[in-house]
Structure formats: C-alpha cells, structure tokens
Structure 1
Amino acid sequence: MSPQAAAARPPEWIAAEEARERLGVRAQTLYAYVSRGRVQVRPDPRDPRRSLYRAADIAALTDRKSRSRKVAEVAAGAITWGEPVLTSAITTISGGRLFYRGRDAVELAQTETLESTARLLRGGHGAALKRTDRPPPPQAGDMRSRAFLALATRAGADPPARGRNPLALAVEAATLLDVLTDAVAGQVGGGAIAGRLALAWGQGPGGPGADLIRRALVLLADHELNPSTFAARVAASTGASLAASALAGLAALSGPRHGGAPAAVQGLAREAAAVGPRAAIAARLAEGRTVPGFGHVLYPDGDPRAQALLERFEPPPEMVRLQSAVGAVTGLAPNVDFALVAMSQALKLPDDAPFALFAVARCAGWIAHAIEQGQGGGVIRPRARYVGEAG
C-alpha cells in the first residue's frame, strides 16, 4: 500500500477525547462502555499512560445511538396526538367522524341508549345484563366524590378481570355502569341510565331534557385512545378488575386538561359575561392562553359531537354570543366541551353535570377497552428515555 493510501485510511484506534466527541458522552460513560466489553481499548504505543479506543466499536455505538434516537423520536411523537400505538377494534376517528365498531356515533345518538352503546363497544353480543342487588351509593357531598368512592370500593373487592368467563364480565360491566350512575344520581335507581340522571337533575324522565342527556351519553361513550382510556388500558393490561381499570380512567379524566375542560369553558363564559365576549377572547389571546371549548386536533372541520348536540336545543343567548365571537376572532368551531356546558346551562343542570356526564358515558368505553386489552394484549410497559445524570 502506498504511503498516500495509508495516510487516507481512517485510523483503527483513536484517542479518548475523539472517542468521547464522536459518542457525545462524558469520560465516565466511555469507561462504562469499556468495562461492559462494548469498546476495545489498548495502551497508546507513543504514550503508555494514555489509552486508545477501537474506532470500529465507537462507530457501531454511534450508529446504534442514532437509530435509537430515531425510534425514540417516533415513540415520543406517537404519545401526543401522533401515530396509533395500540391495535383496537372498538373506536376510530376517520374523515372527521367518530365511529363505534364501524357505526357512526352521531347516527347512533339518534336512537340508542348508553346501555346499548356499551354493549356495542364491548362486542355487541348478549342481552342487557345487570345485577339488581346494588348497595346504596357512598355518602358524600358531591357527585364527583361519590363517583370516586363507588369505583374505589368496587376496585378493592372485585376479582381480576383476566381469565374470567365472558358472560361474567358482561354482567360485571353492566352492573359497574349502574353503580357509577347510582353514585352520580345519589340513589339506587331503575330504568335507563339517561332517565335516572335526568330525574336526579330535575328533568322529566321522558322529556326533551332526558333525550338530550341520552344523546350526550352516547356521543361521549368512547373517543379512541384518549388519556383516560389509555390509563384504563394500562391498568387492564396488568389483569386488574374492570372496576380498577375504570377507576384509573376516572382519575385521568379528573384532570383540567381532560374531563375538567368543561370547567374551563364555564370560566370563559363568566369572563365573557363580565367584560364582553370579544374582550374576554382578546385578553386570553394576548396572554397566550387557549380559548377552551373551541377547536379539536382530531376534527379540523369541526367536532361532529358538538354539532349533533347543539342542533337539538336552543343555547342560552350569552353562549350564542360567545360562540359567534370566538368564530369571528379565531375561526374555531365549538367542540363537545362547549356543547356540554351550553346544554347544562339550557337545562339548568348542576355545575358539575358536564363532568358527571363524561364520567358515566366514558365508563362504557373504559370497560370495553379493558376487556379488549385483557383478551389479547400484553402488559403495557413503555421505556423511559433517561435524560438525567449518568451513573
């Protein structure tokens, strides 16, 4: 080989400084690679006090780190409104529409109940099954506290779901919906869930208010892999009971960036009533805050659930003015959070009714996802990308 060719060939061994620079690590990490046998090392013949590191090993580690970063970037992107990460046959959002097992949720809301929708989400088999020997709901001052207590009590006593007979799970699933409804309503009741909630909130069980509640429950029953449903599936992946999975879902739903969103809409409505809709919107935009109740990442052309509800009743005038002002300033259409608040105000429901409706309705989806996860999925256990101090 000519001297020129030898000089052009990359060195087989490189100094520690260059090895660390190529890897982007500190000296301790380089030494750790050596101790684990992932990088060969030898004394520098020109200075025995120094070490040289095999360049090919450093290149292999660099390539692996690069590929790992790409995988990590894909995984990180999937967590927040990204690509699907779990397979499911329950719900999808396609073309700006919401489908439960291939059926349009808006069309289902025309005629179905939450109970029939829950059976559809679970697989559509069997009659309406439930046990009638339900205990009285917990004694607590508000609907939210009673809901948590009711599910926690069941979670502490019910057996694991994994390995159970499908019929037994179907009975438990239907009963669990009733238990949560009892907690929200404050009493054990019979009949359709929508009618029981309507009666508890001062609406005639067969009147227009009850029908609106029924429609809302169907439209809210599931929404693909949202945070609370993901939490429920994580719990179910461990074999936890249906009640424990539902409790995990309720815990995630309670956050202000999920099931607490209607409360933010109520806050915006109060601001708009105090200073006027345009001034309230302008103040939020000037502060870099969002306008709650409007726009949805998955529905760029408008939330069909909101439209399906808003066209069935006359919102209060102040909510109409708020909707018009937000549309004029931002171009955003109302989402289901706005529709729930407007509906609750129109029917004079309790302030926490939007959250209660979300919880009762979405429990049907949590249970369906928990059953599906338990039937075929493994334990959901992602890895963390460590960014702390090296050991």
Structure 2
Amino acid sequence: MADELTKGLEGVLAAESELSSIDGDAGRLIYRGYDIADLAERASYEEVVYLLWHGELPDRAALDSFTDAMAAERAVDESILETVRALAAAEEAPMAAMRTAVSMLSATDPDAEAPADDREAARRKARRITAKIPTLLAAYDRVRQDEAPIDPDPDLDLAANFLYMLTGEAPDDVAAETFDQALILHADHGLNASTFTAMVVGSTMADLYSSVTAGIGALSGPLHGGANQDVMEVLFEIESSDLDPREWVERATDEGRRIPGFGHRVYNVTDPRATILKARSAKLAETGDDTWYEITTAIEDYLTDEVGLVEKGIAPNVDFYSGSVYYQLGIPIDMYTPIFAMSRAAGWSAHVLEYQEDNRLIRPRGRYVGPDDREYVPIEDR
C-alpha cells in the first residue's frame, strides 16, 4: 500500500534489471543468465565486465579489443598520484583515500564534460574507472610502505596486473586465477546498498564518477563492506590462542560473540560465492600455508554440522572465505573492502548505465512523524 512503511526498503521492488539475479533459497547467483559458478570457472574478469556492460559474452576478437582498451586506460595522471601520496602520508584509511582519488579521476577524463545521456562517453568513463582503480589502490599501498608505485603491465590481465603492481612480482598461475575468480564473484550482486546508492545518484543524470564515488561511500560502511576483514581478524585470534578452532568458536558463541562471515541478508543457504572461494582456498593451501584453510573449514564444519546454523538459515557467505584467500595472496587486510569496490565498480557502472536508458528520478517519500501546529517564538522570548 502507498502509505505502508518498510524499514530499510527490505523486499521493496525499486527497479527492473537484466544484470544479476539472486535465489537466496537455492543459493544461486546469475549474471545475465549465466550461473556464477560457470563464469568463475571458465570466464575471465574482463569477459564478465564485457557481459555486464554489453549484454552478451564477447567473441575472441571483441574480447581482445576490449581487454586492450582496458589495459590502455590503466595509467593514472601524475597529479592524481601526488594526491594518493599525500593521502598515504596522512594515513588516510584506504576506502577514504580511494573515494577521494576516484572522484579526482574525472579531472583528467577527456569525456568529463560530456552530458550524462551520451551513452558512448559514459561507457568510456566506466572503462577508465574500472581500469584505473587497481592502479590507484596498488600505488596507495606501496607509498604507505615507502615503496615507489609500479607502472601497470599491459601484458597482464587486470587481476594479475593488480597483484604485480601491489607486490612488485608477477603472480603465479594459481594466485592470478584465484584473484581473477574473486573479482568475478564480486562484480555484481543485485540491488545491494552501494549499487542502489550509485543508481540513485545516476537517476539525477549526474556523471558516472559521481555515481561510483557514492557507491564507494556506501560500501565503506561496516554494515555493507568490511566483513572479510573481520573474518581475518578472528582467524588471527584463533591461530594465536591455545584452543583449537572448534573450542574457540564454542567459547566465543557462549560469550555472545557473533562469528563474522556467517549469515546474509539475501541467502538462506550457503552463498555460492563462498563455495567457489573455499575451493580456491584449498588450492592455495596446496602450494603454501594451509593454516587458514584448516581453521576456516574447522569453523564451518562445527557451525554447520554440530550447531546446525544452516538449518536456521545462517550459512557461510562470500566474506567467510574471501578474507583468508586475500591473505594467502599477500594482500593487506585493510585493503579487502577497497578490492571489493575495485571489482564492484564494473557492476555499479552497469546498473547506472542500464537505469539511465529508461531513467526516472528516484524520489521516495518519507512519513513525517514530528510535532505539528507549533508557533514561532521570538528569540528574545525563548
């Protein structure tokens, strides 16, 4: 009903989209009709971005052209890198630094003055944003560690190039494939808070930089981003304790602590992205430290098999395994949410571009519940 209040807009239909669909009861996520497990196993992140932006998977020629165009946009103007250096020196939080730097990218965009309804210019902006964010993030992390930023390598795909710019070493095949899959899994996820925020801004026909910057701001909130960092901090606690994972979790839950990485606003069963990342964590453990895989699987086994959380609709989500996967890849834990944004920028852009095709300003109503019929009292009489 028109006057019915739905806190948090939960369950309210606000838009139609062809981009992604979530079945929370079946544990299924699709991008434009393709199951996420199939895309993660067989596609590249660049293929998935192309799919989100263009509606179809590219053929070889289209993918090569698209990948080359993305790689050509990775370099960031020195004036923006100077700001990144200043933010790192000021010890600005990574998400805040990212928000500022992404907003600044419009200053050097040749399409900056193009109207928002110029579809081709908007797609070029989306390409530049998605290509440049990894460069910004890697540069920020290296500068704060007193290391010089590394120029992008056009011969590497986006995932491998980011790891190269971050660490200074080209990743091995397992690491590159793992990170590429992680980016695919985070590229889009329906009308979540940050995507909806980006769409609200886009509905005003503001430029794409404004929408993506707004999405970053929404994702920075702890109720949306940051859970995988929380998971890793719990794993650190367990690893350094005298208890085994089962005992630690049992004690923590008895004390009323919530175990991060379990439960999701949409999924009532295991998040399909968690299943995929669990397999990648096992793969990484084969060639490196298996500590984190052993701890996470022990926690999952205890909470699912013995406590029965899944039967209560509380199951592992993508953050439960992405934290340890990123740690195994050598990524600092405070960079986990920025990496989420790095991947999701493609999805935010896709939703804005799609919504603006048949745009209507998003303008919900609020119910006034304040006082009525108050009379103004002159200031000298108050």
TM range (shorter): 0.7 to 0.9
Partners of 1:321 and 1:160 in 2: CA distance: 53
Partners of 1:288 and 1:240 in 2: CA distance: 45
Partners of 2:133 and 2:2 in 1: CA distance: 41
In the alignment, structure 1 segments of 5+ residues that lack a partner are 1-69
Farther-moved stretch of structure 1 (114-123 vs 315-324): 315-324
Alpha-carbon contact 1:265-1:341 (below 8 Å) kept = yes
**C-alpha displacement at 1:373, in angstroms?**
1.8
Partner amino acid, structure 2, of 1:101: R
1:371 aligns with 2:353: yes
Partner amino acid, structure 2, of 1:173: A
**C-alpha displacement at 1:351, in angstroms?**
1.4
For residue 218 of structure 1, the aligned residue among 184, 195, 203 is: 184
- 2:287 maps to none
Superposed CA deviations along residues 8-66 of structure 1, whole A, max 9, x for unmatched, are: xxxxxxxxxxxxxxxxxxxxxxxxxxxxxxxxxxxxxxxxxxxxxxxxxxxxxxxxxxx
SS of 1:240's equivalent in the other structure is coil
1:346 aligns with 2:328: yes
Partners of 2:236 and 2:178 in 1: CA distance: 24
- 1:292 maps to 260
Partners of 1:362 and 1:345 in 2: CA distance: 20
Partner amino acid, structure 2, of 1:264: D
1:153 aligns with 2:121: no
1:244 aligns with 2:210: yes
Alpha-carbon contact 1:264-1:292 (below 8 Å) kept = yes
**C-alpha displacement at 1:306, in angstroms?**
0.7
Partner amino acid, structure 2, of 1:120: L
In the alignment, structure 2 segments of 5+ residues that lack a partner are 57-61, 140-148, 283-289, 374-382
- 2:297 maps to 320
Partners of 2:171 and 2:249 in 1: CA distance: 37
How many residues in Structure 1 have an aligned counterpart in Structure 2?
319
**C-alpha displacement at 1:271, in angstroms?**
3.8
**C-alpha displacement at 1:245, in angstroms?**
0.5
Task: Provide closer, same or farther for how the CA distance between residues 387 and 241 of structure 1 changes in structure 2, counting only shifts above 3 A.
Answer: same
Alpha-carbon contact 1:265-1:337 (below 8 Å) kept = yes
Partners of 2:33 and 2:98 in 1: CA distance: 31
Partners of 1:339 and 1:72 in 2: CA distance: 41
Partners of 1:238 and 1:159 in 2: CA distance: 16
**C-alpha displacement at 1:347, in angstroms?**
2.7
- 1:196 maps to 161
- 2:220 maps to 254
Task: With the length of structure 2 as denominator, give the TM-score of the two structures.
Answer: 0.76
**C-alpha displacement at 1:93, in angstroms?**
0.9
1:123 aligns with 2:54: yes
- 1:79 maps to 9
- 2:35 maps to 104
- 1:59 maps to none
**C-alpha displacement at 1:295, in angstroms?**
2.5
Task: Provide closer, same or farther for how the CA distance between residues 161 and 228 of structure 1 changes in structure 2, counting only shifts above 3 A.
Answer: farther
- Alignment RMSD (CA, Å): 2.5
Task: Provide closer, same or farther for how the CA distance between residues 366 and 280 of structure 1 changes in structure 2, counting only shifts above 3 A.
Answer: same
What fraction of aligned residue pairs are identical, expressed as a percent?
Answer: 31
Question: Which of the two has higher C-alpha Rg?
Answer: 1
**C-alpha displacement at 1:243, in angstroms?**
1.2
**C-alpha displacement at 1:135, in angstroms?**
1.2
Task: With the length of structure 1 as denominator, give the TM-score of the two structures.
Answer: 0.74
